[in-house]
Amino acid sequence: MIEVYHNPRCGKSRNCLAFLENTNQEYKVIKYLEEVPSAEELRAILEKLNIKPIALVRQKEKIWTEQFKDKNLTDEAVIEAMIQNPILIERPIIIKGNKAIIAREMDKIEAFFEAK
């Protein structure tokens, strides 16, 4: 089952869901601002994305710039910051099996589903 970490207020996230609807993909929506992922879940997502925690952070968010920017944070501290402030998590994230993408560009989404 495809999982989509979604923020309904985000246009790119809504576009991602529209793409999945239009291609008749079955998926589960996870509204991560309401269903905040645990540290273990975030680590699993990061592994599937094959990125470091800082690459999943929305670094222009006010919370980040005021509380975390320019601090030398460990990966675990970055994960904890995302758990405490889930708005910091980049979106949307599509997970399919053991692979995932940050699905902000339509061509990236299309390529993700074309790949075998």
**Active-site residue, selected from the candidate residues 2, 3, 10, 104:** 10
Residues composing the chain: 116
Catalytic, 16? Answer no
Q: Which two tokens stand for residue 67?
A: 């509380």
Pair 88, 63: CB distance under 8 Å: yes
Of 82, 15, 10, give the one whose Cα is nearest residue 49. Answer: 82
Pair 37, 45: CB distance under 8 Å: yes
List active site positions: 10
